[in-house]
Structure 1
Amino acid sequence: MQVLMLGWEFPPLITGGLGTACAGLTRALVGKGVKIDFVLPRPVASAQIGGVRVLSPGCEELNVNHGFEPRVNDSPRTMTGKTLSPTTLKTQSESPRSEFPPSFNAAPDVTSLQPQPDNQQETIGLNQFTHLPYPLDATPEPVATFLQAANGNPLRASQSIDAFVKRGGVVPEEQQALLKKMVQQAQSESSASISSNNDSPPRTGSTASEADPAHADVDYGDDLVEHVRRFTQFCVRSLANRDFDVIHAHDWMTYEAGLALRAITGKPLVVHVHSTEFDRSGDHGNPEVLAIESRGIREADRVICVSVLTRNLVVSRYGAAAERCRVVYNGVELSEDSPSPSEIRRDDRIVLYFGRITYQKGPEFFMAAAKKVLEHTSNVKFVVAGSGDQAERMIRMAAELDIGDRVLFTGFLRGRDISRVFSLADLYVMPSRSEPFGIAPLEAMSHGVPVLISKTSGVSEVLTHALKVDFWDIEDMASKIVAVLKYPPLSQHLKEHGRFEVRRITWEGAAQKCIQEYERIAS
């Protein structure tokens, strides 16, 4: 079986999320003898990653480059309307960036919190500059941290480091020099690309964009829909003549490319729904994204959903035919490097929130529960590990709730820092409003950490030895946190049985179900 798999990130840079799901499933499929070409919208350094052949613009095997490298902008362009990203949808204002986070009523009316307009500079450069010769997973800290916070834009990351150093922060000079070198190389490569385009004028009577949209010198900022359009063009031009049996498209960014390739080749299309616009943005989603999602889900030969929750949503909200929808739960790769509890020596108990700090994830409910927990016990600290458009609001909320000294915001974590934060945690809390699946709780359980999860999550369908709560029920959430912290037998029971339970939730099982669907639609 030869599968052409379309994705947006491989391998993953962070734990949890779409990249982790794609990597886990792909490795398991390869282990079962499936041959996979994994197609990405941005150039990667290696053509083979973990037994998977990776195809991208400019790769040697395709020997093409369809202009996926936007120009470097010293002066970010102001954009209006919706700003799109694969993981969250943000509304962007044309007003300049404020020095202070927006004010809001933090307590106790947590349900009044809604997605807020994001600051312009926060989203400039999304998914750009990933052609750099220094991949994030090989870049030393703290350069990688600043690059990740800047969405891969080395210019913004360099500016942030300069500001950080001026405020008294310490960054080794050699790492500052490394980042400046990355900025110079990005600018040099972009200038060369622009010069090359200018040397080849368009055909008479047409603009450069009209003559060859895939090669056009277009600076589309962080317009993800434009990235999707160009990715579709790249796939059609470069992959239509390749030999494969099935097309497998992960999430909405790749649906258009999958549909186009199916139309040309006649090969069956599987779309894999990891998240929907209703999960990310509630009933106020972006119409363009909704249209793309809807078409992909309705027209695919098979729709793989990560949970029953997601399957019900795609049937009821997108009009998908129920008989074409299959539930394939995500898996988890068990951790082998987490220390045992006896190796941890500390007085404070640690309650962990780990993931994107966005409206969908419900961080304000975590903060409100923290306030109530601290009314009953004092030797506890709440660690918020992650980044996102709600981070500043949560910092402000902690201050207004007068618990700022008991809440630690770590920012974005990667590498061994992830295992470290899990090893310190006494409880992991996932208070998401809507979570199609939720891999992070499985990763926490694999580290021997008890979990408290939202009932509106796909992972709650497969877990027995986990505490569950309505995301909006602050009283119940706080009560269950206190119970785990104060009653060691409960904590120990969740640890032991949870770690045993998570061993049966594997990517190999998910891969086998995908293979069965491949064979059914390909026959």
Structure 2
Amino acid sequence: MKVLMFGWEFPPHISGGLGTACYGLVKGMAHHNQDIIFVVPKLWGDEEPLADFVNASDVTIDYREKRFKKFWKNLTYLEVSSFLVPYLGPDEFKKYTDYAIHDRTDVDESVFSNKFEFSGKYGKDLMMEVSRYALVAAHIAKSKEHDIIHAHDWLSFPAGIAAKEISGKPLVAHVHATEFDRSGESVNQVVYDIERAGMHAADHIVAVSQLTKNIIIKKYGIPASKVTVLHNAVLDASIIKSSYKKKVPEKIVTFLGRITFQKGPEYFVEAAKKVIERDPNVRFVMAGNGDLLNRMIDRVAELRMGTKFHFTGFLKGDDVDHMYAISDVYVMPSVSEPFGISPLEAVRHNTPVIISKQSGVAEVLNNAIKVDFWDIDSTADAIFALLHYDGIAKMFKELGTEELKKLKWEHVAEKLVNVYQKTLSQKP
């Protein structure tokens, strides 16, 4: 089977969990000898050769073809005045300015038959790149032989729709997060409309959790029979024994992720205050960046715990591994987390985890302490217990290690192949 897959990023050049999930899935598909054509807006040249990569920036479009003129005429642009990543809170979305339908058939043809140079990033021209990516996708679908199309999240949904319209092949839409996860009920209407269009155009939908599937059914009007849940996994289930040692005597409790509404950083800060009141010999670390960072810094100052609370900024590579290695407890208090791979990575480092019940990973990680994101008292009690009762911490470490063995990307890929086969069999 030949799969034409559209993503927005691929390791090592990523901004979050979306690229990591794409990598794991492609690697798992290779384990099952699937032929993947993986398209991204921009390749950097150091991607692991797991698929037939296509750099959208290298594709030449001839707009004089009637079908491409139609796509160009109906592209929707959204002007973005700020940095944008796939998962954002409402504060960032408020910086969007305007969108309009552009009819570009009046542009001189000398502009056409050219390549688009995609940035591959999430800047102010993101929606123009999303639209142009769809145009390039139509050309790729016309020129590359394939059996099925797979598009990851809203950034790639227009590309998936365009590819389906050109080739007539079935489309699988993979939902890693929804606009309701990013923004609560204060959704950005344009992004929601793109998501909804992609889901309705798809022949089948893959959701990363039952939590996400429920949102898809309730908020996007999709029948349950059209959605399959495939939980994310870990690239390597083995336990990491790091030689990296912490340089402070206190216990360390860590939050690692985007500092946005979705991740619930304020609940981590408030729980930290309650723990420090009971035991001042604890340090808390918030690793990451996001639109709520300054607000969290201000709140830590207000609570007078600046000497016990540290902000690292965005971490990557070895720094992430070092952070997990020196942590005594990992906390993920997400308000709405479609899945959440980071707790699994913490378990790999033999670190006990506390996760919110409002997360997809709670569906597969049974041996973790689960709390409601808003219940800071329960979160503080759980942190205190894991720090002070060695037997409890040891139990969760051992049981979590066993659970990881079941969460492999090749298992997810096997289930995905079954989804492909079922989708193809239902296509008239």
TM tier relative to shorter chain: 0.7 to 0.9
Give the counterpart of 1:280 among 182, 205, 212: 182
SS at match of 1:371: helix
Give the counterpart of 1:483 among 378, 381, 385: 385
Give the counterpart of 2:267 among 331, 346, 365: 365
- 1:56 and 2:55 are equivalent in the alignment: yes
CA, structure 1 residues 464+301, in 2 after alignment: closer, same or farther (shift >3 Å)?
A: same
CA distance in 2, matches of 1:86, 1:14: 11
Superposed counterparts of 1:143-292, under 5 Å: 206-208=106-108, 212=112, 222-292=124-194
Q: Find the counterpart in structure 2 of residue 409 from structure 1.
A: 311
CA distance in 2, matches of 1:210, 1:454: 55
Cα deviation for residue 464 of structure 1 reads 1.1
- 1:38 and 2:38 are equivalent in the alignment: yes
Give the counterpart of 1:381 among 261, 283, 298: 283
Cα deviation for residue 50 of structure 1 reads 3.0
CA, structure 1 residues 28+230, in 2 after alignment: closer, same or farther (shift >3 Å)?
A: same
Q: Find the counterpart in structure 2 of residue 187 from structure 1.
A: none
**Letter of the aligned partner of 1:20 in structure 2?**
T
SS at match of 2:255: strand
CA distance in 2, matches of 1:119, 1:257: 22
CA distance in 2, matches of 1:423, 1:472: 27
SS at match of 1:55: strand
For the Cα contact (< 8 Å) 1:82–1:90, is it kept in 2? Answer: no
Gapped regions of structure 2 (runs ≥ 5): 64-78, 98-103
CA, structure 1 residues 337+453, in 2 after alignment: closer, same or farther (shift >3 Å)?
A: closer
For the Cα contact (< 8 Å) 2:4–2:36, is it kept in 1? Answer: yes
Q: Find the counterpart in structure 2 of residue 4 from structure 1.
A: 4
CA distance in 2, matches of 1:224, 1:267: 27
**Letter of the aligned partner of 1:207 in structure 2?**
V
TM-score (norm 2): 0.87
Gapped regions of structure 1 (runs ≥ 5): 67-78, 93-114, 121-202
For the Cα contact (< 8 Å) 1:82–1:91, is it kept in 2? Answer: no
CA, structure 1 residues 300+218, in 2 after alignment: closer, same or farther (shift >3 Å)?
A: closer
CA, structure 1 residues 217+434, in 2 after alignment: closer, same or farther (shift >3 Å)?
A: closer
CA, structure 1 residues 330+210, in 2 after alignment: closer, same or farther (shift >3 Å)?
A: farther
CA, structure 1 residues 20+384, in 2 after alignment: closer, same or farther (shift >3 Å)?
A: same
Q: Find the counterpart in structure 2 of residue 391 from structure 1.
A: 293
CA, structure 1 residues 213+361, in 2 after alignment: closer, same or farther (shift >3 Å)?
A: farther
CA distance in 1, matches of 2:329, 2:147: 44
CA, structure 1 residues 428+42, in 2 after alignment: closer, same or farther (shift >3 Å)?
A: same
For the Cα contact (< 8 Å) 1:8–1:19, is it kept in 2? Answer: yes
CA, structure 1 residues 381+516, in 2 after alignment: closer, same or farther (shift >3 Å)?
A: same
For the Cα contact (< 8 Å) 2:57–2:115, is it kept in 1? Answer: no
Q: Find the counterpart in structure 2 of residue 155 from structure 1.
A: none
CA distance in 1, matches of 2:244, 2:81: 52
For the Cα contact (< 8 Å) 1:58–1:65, is it kept in 2? Answer: no
Cα deviation for residue 215 of structure 1 reads 5.9
SS at match of 1:522: helix
CA, structure 1 residues 455+344, in 2 after alignment: closer, same or farther (shift >3 Å)?
A: same
CA, structure 1 residues 466+415, in 2 after alignment: closer, same or farther (shift >3 Å)?
A: same
For the Cα contact (< 8 Å) 2:263–2:335, is it kept in 1? Answer: yes
CA distance in 2, matches of 1:473, 1:89: 21
CA distance in 1, matches of 2:384, 2:370: 14
Q: Find the counterpart in structure 1 of residue 416 from structure 2.
A: 514
Q: Find the counterpart in structure 2 of residue 315 from structure 1.
A: 217
For the Cα contact (< 8 Å) 1:15–1:414, is it kept in 2? Answer: no
CA-to-aligned-CA distance 1:187-222 (integer Å, 9 cap, x gap): xxxxxxxxxxxxxxxx9x933599649768999961
Q: Find the counterpart in structure 1 of residue 402 from structure 2.
A: 500
**Letter of the aligned partner of 1:430 in structure 2?**
M
Q: Find the counterpart in structure 2 of residue 18 from structure 1.
A: 18
CA distance in 2, matches of 1:7, 1:422: 28
Cα deviation for residue 84 of structure 1 reads 4.5
SS at match of 2:143: coil
CA distance in 1, matches of 2:241, 2:13: 23
CA, structure 1 residues 519+335, in 2 after alignment: closer, same or farther (shift >3 Å)?
A: closer
Cα deviation for residue 89 of structure 1 reads 5.1
- 1:423 and 2:325 are equivalent in the alignment: yes
SS at match of 2:291: coil
CA distance in 1, matches of 2:245, 2:84: 43
CA distance in 2, matches of 1:407, 1:55: 44
SS at match of 1:375: helix
CA distance in 1, matches of 2:202, 2:60: 30
For the Cα contact (< 8 Å) 1:272–1:304, is it kept in 2? Answer: yes
SS at match of 1:350: strand
**Letter of the aligned partner of 2:52 in structure 1?**
R
CA distance in 2, matches of 1:310, 1:214: 39
Q: Find the counterpart in structure 1 of residue 205 from structure 2.
A: 303
- 1:436 and 2:338 are equivalent in the alignment: yes
For the Cα contact (< 8 Å) 2:7–2:151, is it kept in 1? Answer: yes
CA, structure 1 residues 341+21, in 2 after alignment: closer, same or farther (shift >3 Å)?
A: same
Number of positions where the alignment pairs a residue of Structure 1 with one of Structure 2: 402
Q: Percent identity?
A: 42
CA, structure 1 residues 14+234, in 2 after alignment: closer, same or farther (shift >3 Å)?
A: closer
CA, structure 1 residues 379+341, in 2 after alignment: closer, same or farther (shift >3 Å)?
A: farther
CA-to-aligned-CA distance 1:34-54 (integer Å, 9 cap, x gap): 0101101124325x7332111
CA, structure 1 residues 216+502, in 2 after alignment: closer, same or farther (shift >3 Å)?
A: closer
SS at match of 1:384: strand
CA-to-aligned-CA distance 1:375-416 (integer Å, 9 cap, x gap): 111111001111111111111111011111101111111111
For the Cα contact (< 8 Å) 2:80–2:125, is it kept in 1? Answer: no
SS at match of 1:504: coil
CA, structure 1 residues 422+315, in 2 after alignment: closer, same or farther (shift >3 Å)?
A: same
CA, structure 1 residues 302+343, in 2 after alignment: closer, same or farther (shift >3 Å)?
A: same
CA, structure 1 residues 335+312, in 2 after alignment: closer, same or farther (shift >3 Å)?
A: closer
SS at match of 1:464: coil
CA distance in 1, matches of 2:368, 2:125: 39
CA distance in 1, matches of 2:61, 2:80: 33
**Letter of the aligned partner of 2:132 in structure 1?**
R
TM-score (norm 1): 0.71
- 1:467 and 2:387 are equivalent in the alignment: no
